[in-house]
Amino acid sequence: MKFVKKDFLWGGATSASQVEGAYDVDGKSLTIADMRPFNPNLDRKSVSELNAYTREDYEKSIENKEGLHYPKRFGVDQYHRYKEDIALFKEAGMNIYRMSIAWSRIFPNGDEAEPNKSAIEFYRSVFQECKDAGMEVMLTIQHYDVPYPITKEYGGWSNKKVVDLFIKFSTVIMNEYKDLVKYWLPFNEINIATLSPVTGLGVFKEDFKTEEEYKNAAWQGLHNQFYAQAKVIEIAKTISSNIEMGCMVANMTTYYSDCNPVNVMENLKFQQMERYFYYDVMIKGKYPTYSERYFEEHNIKFETTPEEMNVIKNNPIHYITFSYYMTSTISKELLEKAGGNLLMGGKNPFLKATEWGWQIDPIGLRVTLNELWDRYEIPLFISENGIGVVETLDSNNTVEDDYRIDYLSEHFKQMNEAILDGVNVFGYTMWTPIDVVSLSTNEMSKRYGLIFVDYDDYHKGTGDRFKKKSFNWFKKFRETGEL
> Residue 417: what pLDDT?
98
> Residue 324: what pLDDT?
97
Report d(CA 321, CA 372) in Å as an integer: 10
What percent of the chain shows pLDDT beyond 70? 97
Report d(CA 226, CA 234) in Å as an integer: 13
Cβ atoms of 430 and 386 within 8 Å: the answer is: yes
For 101-111, what is each residue's pLDDT tens digit? 999 999 999 99
What percent of the chain shows pLDDT beyond 90? 90
Cβ atoms of 256 and 329 within 8 Å: the answer is: yes
∠ CA 83-89-90, nearest 5°, is 90
> Residue 41: what pLDDT?
85
5-9, 115-119, 346-350, 444-448: range with lowest mean pLDDT: 346-350
For 276-321, what is each residue's pLDDT tens digit? 999 999 999 999 999 999 999 999 999 999 999 999 999 999 999 9
Report d(CA 381, CA 473) in Å as an integer: 22
Residue-by-residue DSSP string for 373-412: HHHH-S-EEEEE----EE----TTSS---HHHHHHHHHHH
| pLDDT score of 160 more than 90 | yes
Mean pLDDT across the stretch 63-88? 97
> Residue 47: what pLDDT?
63
Report d(CA 12, CA 477) in Å as an integer: 15
Work out the mean pLDDT of the chain and round it to a whole number: 95
Cβ atoms of 242 and 178 within 8 Å: the answer is: yes
**Torsion angles phi and psi, residue 359, rounded to 5:** -85, 125
| pLDDT score of 346 more than 90 | no
Cβ atoms of 447 and 391 within 8 Å: the answer is: yes
- 372 Cβ contact partners less than 8 Å away, ≥ 6 residues apart: 279, 320, 322, 380
> Residue 53: what pLDDT?
86
Report d(CA 32, CA 88) in Å as an integer: 30
Q: Is the peptide bond before 254 cis (omega within 30 degrees of 0)?
A: no
> Residue 341: what pLDDT?
46
Q: Is position 20 annotated as part of the catalytic site?
A: no
What pTM, to 2 d.p., does this model score?
Answer: 0.96
> Residue 357: what pLDDT?
84
> Residue 45: what pLDDT?
65
Mean pLDDT across the stretch 112-126? 97
Catalytic position from the list 384, 391, 417, 443: 384
Confidence of residue 338 (pLDDT cuts 50, 70, 90): low
| E strand intervals along 144-278 | 183-187, 244-250, 254-256
Domains within the chain, CATH numbers bracketed: 9-480 (3.20.20.80)
Residues in the chain: 483
